[in-house]
Amino acid sequence: MKYYTFDSGVRMNKKILSISAVLLAVVIVLLIIDSTLEKPIVTNKIIKAIYPDWNPENKKGEKDVEPDAELAADETAGEPEGEQPAPAEANAPSYAESRTPMMQAVLKADEKKLRELITSGGADINKQDTLGFTALNLAVYMGRGNAVSALLMGGANPNIADIDGMTPTAHASRQKQLSIAKILLERGANPNKPNNEGQTPLMIAAHYGHDDLAELLLHNKANVNAKDKLGRTALMEASANGYSKIVLSLLSLGADKTVRDNVGQTAQDYAFRFGHEDIAEILSGEQAQEGTVIGEPMPESPAAPAGAPLPTTVPSTQSAPSQIPAQPQPMQTQPAQQQQQQAQPGQFRSNLR
């Protein structure tokens, strides 16, 4: 009878392990080769067993996409970022294609071409692109003072808003275009027309600390106590961002410091919350002189009559970005010590809560 010794058992185990290692290596190599094929057979079956919802027709690393989602992704490829208008037609023009010759002249700062288009009378001066911009909205955003004046003299409507509800006056308030804002108000712009969030040009100027623009709007019948959709007023915007000069101006012209927003906070609450104790002290005392509230929301003023003489020059304005922004992203609240800056594309609204 043959007996196995301890040493013989160890040698047998080693042989089994060696054979197993070789077989495992062969399997791994075969799997690697299989996975490189255009339509893997074994690999797909293994993965499908582990992940039943896995789709082998997708490219590596891609998740399953519903057919409708793929179609939607193809249709939106190449469009500008931000909120877009709902497609009205299957063959609707792209953003660049929707620009009129007047808009192209504004973009290129070609005042001669712009004047020719205005005086010819063959183009719709108030036509909007896919973002809702008219030639006037674009000229204001770009800081083209002469173009703004020429378009207004040619009959451009100063109260047409883009898809975010931003009028030329609202853009001027955000971009700190004081001289352009004066021209717009002189030509019938409504200082109280809100954007889609309910924010008036005065609220925008107060948010960015543009005190000169705030003063201009207040003396052109801007509603000092208007509220946005969150119940916030221009006084709350200025208080939250630490602009004491605007706070004093608003109070002196009748701003109600006791008004509460939709969650019950006052302008003083915002001042305390963001560390502006000097403004909180102003709001708690009687430093501001009482005055008359300037203005209720005024009706839309008619556009300037077409055919009025075109101007030669207007006061110079600050330079602006060379492209229209994608829709503005939320902006953080600014500290009191921060210097007043012109708003950059994409910035607009602070999240005070």
* Model pLDDT for residues 26-51, shown as the tens digit of each residue: 878 777 777 776 666 666 677 666 66
Question: Torsion-angle region of residue 230: left (phi > 0), alpha (psi -120 to 50) or beta?
Answer: alpha
Place of tokens 């009025």: 308
> Could you tell me if 12 and 109 lie in one domain?
no
With respect to residue 132, please indicate whether it lies within any of the assigned structural domains: yes
Write down the pLDDT at residue 50.
66
12-15-16-19 Cα dihedral, nearest 10 degrees:
-160
Residue 69 belongs to a domain: no
User: What pLDDT, on a 0 to 100 scale, did the predictor assign at position 287?
Assistant: 47
Higher pLDDT, 109 or 69: 109
Residues 118 and 171 in one domain: yes
Any domain includes 72: no
Please tell me whether residues 174 and 137 are part of one structural domain.
Answer: yes
Domain count, the chain: 3
The CATH number linked to 264 is 1.25.40.20
Lowest-confidence region among 48-57, 158-167, 239-248, 297-306: 297-306
Whether 139 has a pLDDT exceeding 50, the answer reads yes
List the domain range (segments joined by +) for residue 47: 6-61
Domain assignment of residue 79, yes or no: no
Asked whether residue 347 falls in the same domain as residue 279, the answer is yes
More confident residue, 237 or 63: 237
- Calculate mean pLDDT across residues 211-215: 95
User: Which tokens hold the place of 100?
Assistant: 């009129």
160 and 219 assigned to the same domain: no
- Residue 53, domain member (yes or no): yes
Residues 156 and 243 in one domain: no
- Based on the fold, state whether residues 287 and 226 are members of the same structural domain: yes
Report yes or no on 52 lying in a domain. yes
Position 70 in a domain: no
273-300 confidence digits (pLDDT tens): 999 999 999 999 754 444 333 333 333 4
179 class by beta-carbon count within 10 Å (0-12 exposed, 13-18 middle, 19+ buried): middle
How does residue 16 score in pLDDT terms, banded at 50, 70 and 90? Answer: confident
On whether both 271 and 341 belong to a single domain, the answer is yes
Q: Is residue 88 part of a domain?
A: no
**Is 155 a residue whose pLDDT tops 60?**
yes
pLDDT at residue 347 tops 50: no
